[in-house]
Amino acid sequence: MAEGRYDAIVVGAGFAGLYALHRLRGLGLSVRVLEAGGGVGGTWYWNRYPGARCDIESVDYSYSFSEELEQEWTWSERYPAQPELQRYLDHVADRFDLRRDIQLDTRVTDARFDEAAGRWSIGTEDGDRFDATYCVMATGMLSVLKRPDLPGLDRFEGDWVHTARWPAEGVPLAGRRVGIVGTGSTGIQAATAIAGQAGHLHVFQRTPNFSLPARNRPLTAAEERGIKAAYAERRRQARASFIGVPSSPGDQPAVDVDAAERAQAFEARWEQGGLALMSAFTDLLTSREANEHAAEFVRGKIGETVKNAAVAERLMPRGYAIGTKRLCVDTGYFDIFNRADVTLVDVRRTPIEAVTPRGLRTAEAEYDLDVLVFATGFDAMTGALLDIDIRGRGDASLRAEWADGPRTYLGLAAAGFPNLFIVTGPGSPSVLSNMVLSIEQHVDWIADCIAHLGERGLGCIEATPEAQDAWVATVAEVAGYTLHGAADSWYNGANIPGKPRVYMPFIGGVAEYRRICDGVAAAGYEGFALTAPPEPAPALASTTRR
Ligand code: FAD
Ligand code: NAP
């Protein structure tokens, strides 16, 4: 059993863990990152399925903390694919000499706060224990996959794989009969990439999704020069926006303009590509009528693309508001249904009953398959945190505290769990935003907070129950102004049987959220209790703020 004593333990080595290590090390703290995977990169290490790609533009979905990094890295495309993002994160790990403090293949199983020492004791699957003043959970919001829960899977004689555990060596697809279950962002990307490679592809769709064209393309050298010359301003605009990307949102409600003007605005943003459509008007997520106009526009596009009218109809999402399940972005998804070697199976109408040794059986038919791909998603936002047995003051368990849904102050901390920080946790804009921007904001806030404690000889910070209660109420209140509550989505736990139904992210926008967090810090960490720890606080070599 190995043991280690550090100022800070960071769990996870994705975008969040890598930057947390860099910042905390910059304060002069001794830091160890514990990562379950065999490499760095988090999401982009695990999700190697065909077609995996980000849907925030590369030049925005990237670190802003180092001007040198920004200037020296060249993105090849508007939306980077998984291999390029993996290369980028490997480069960051090397360039900032992060690897020497990262321990791979190490899964954290428990974290216990020792009140007498004022320190966290962190245990791993291999029985090692680490001990630290601060514990930063950079475990990811979409890192615990939803395992396929279909009877008979263990008897399937072909190959099966979840997209979030796609093997590095790949899965042979050429000429084989492939079935894919799930049509969220992942399923849509994977099906598009697999169609044409497979001998035949069956897409098993339960809920049709709204998907918008990415309009991906290579970035030209001239574009790159232009972006790099004005990067600081671009980042400023992203921070001042709602979801964390530079944007020019419409300033009128859709219900106040006539049909022709609406169609023109939707069409322009459809052509622009990516998620732009949803910022065409101010009321698309608050007014049912406005939302229905956008939904109808997208359904119309599906109808224009898919030649078989019955198939097109089955692909058209109905019964929930556009944008209340995570919007998908695709490159030619709906076109694949015009191919003779792709079949859509509506498993809402004819539910999947079982996996058989030869394939998949629905209420109506049996499909012979060589490969089954599960794009069935994640136990989002709380999954990775609750997989770890986290015990705070008085041995209180986070699992018990969150039994009715996550409770945090600002999505950063939980009352009763001193010196435990969560990066992009439930109660922050997190998954509703450009996550790299939100990760940097959280890590900067955490590092500045630790610097503040160090300067004052304090070493213990804890959210008060009152501040947490008020924040939980605010998150719910803001969500209540939108159409989000009504949809079944992973945003509110509806995808996991038995999970409490609580809208988890803060939907007030990244600019407003940053203002609130900065205000809390400026007021001496309002809503937190700051105390001296039983043991001396870690000495800081530097208290440099960003
Ligand atoms: P992650 O990248 O998930 O890293 C967390 C790490 O923690 C993982 O490596 C995991 O192995 C490790 N870990 C978890 N639990 C433990 C434990 N108990 N012990 C040890 N290690 C542990 N966001 C966007 O903003 N735009 C996009 O276009 C976008 N595309 C996405 C595409 C896919 C396929 C997926 C799944 C997510 C996407 N996201 C996107 C969200 C994405 O998760 C974030 O953008 C970002 O990569 C999260 O970084 P992170 O470091 O917080 O978490
Ligand atoms: P997801 O959005 O939760 O989609 C899971 C899909 O699997 C849904 O279509 C779901 O249907 C289906 N499903 C689950 N269990 C099923 C079952 N037993 N039978 C039939 N169908 C079943 O998961 P995801 O697609 O992996 O995406 C998760 C998130 O990751 C995204 O929302 C996004 O934030 C991020 N992501 C982003 C990108 C990108 O383009 N940047 C790509 C991939 C992922 P129901 O809807 O009916 O439950």
| Nearest Cα residue to atom 12 of ligand 1 | 12
Distance of CA 308 from the midpoint of ligand 2 (Å): 25
- Please state at what angle helix 288-305 crosses helix 259-272, rounded to 10 degrees: 60
What's the angle, vertex CA 163, arms to CA 499 and CA 156, rounded to 5? 90
CA distance 176 to 174: 5
Q: Where are the beta strands (DSSP E) in 171-279?
A: 177-181, 200-205, 211-213
CA distance 482 to 489: 14
Tell me, using a 6 A CB cutoff, whether residue 108 lines ligand 1: yes
To the nearest whole number, what is the mean pLDDT of the chain?
96
pLDDT digits (tens, 9 = 90+) for 489-529: 999 999 999 999 999 999 999 999 999 999 999 999 999 99
CA distance 324 to 488: 8
Q: Is 287:255 a contact under the CB 8 Å cutoff?
A: yes
**Could you give phi then psi for residue 508, rounded to 5 degrees?**
-90, 0
CA distance 250 to 279: 6
Mean pLDDT of 156-183: 97
- Please state at what angle helix 510-522 crosses helix 435-455, rounded to 10 degrees: 0
Reading the block at residue 536, the tokens are 């001396």
User: Quick check: 541 pLDDT over 80?
Assistant: no
Q: How confident is the model at residue 2 (pLDDT cuts 50, 70, 90)?
A: low
Q: How confident is the model at residue 108 (pLDDT cuts 50, 70, 90)?
A: very high
Element spanning 521, H or E: helix 510-522
User: Quick check: 538 pLDDT over 80?
Assistant: no
Distance of CA 545 from the midpoint of ligand 2 (Å): 38
CA distance 498 to 172: 35
CA distance 180 to 158: 13
CA distance 196 to 175: 9
Tell me, using a 6 A CB cutoff, whether residue 374 lines ligand 2: no
| Nearest Cα residue to atom 33 of ligand 2 | 185
Q: Is 215:274 a contact under the CB 8 Å cutoff?
A: yes
Q: Is 432:507 a contact under the CB 8 Å cutoff?
A: yes
User: Quick check: 1 pLDDT over 50?
Assistant: no
Element spanning 134, H or E: strand 129-137
512: Cβ contacts below 8 Å, ≥ 6 apart: none
Mean pLDDT of 440-464: 95
Distance of CA 496 from the midpoint of ligand 1 (Å): 18
- What SS3 class is residue 81? strand
Tell me, using a 6 A CB cutoff, whether residue 401 lines ligand 2: no
Range list of H helices, 81-133? 82-95
**Could you give phi then psi for residue 193, rounded to 5 degrees?**
-75, -30
Distance of CA 84 from the midpoint of ligand 2 (Å): 22
Q: How confident is the model at residue 3 (pLDDT cuts 50, 70, 90)?
A: low
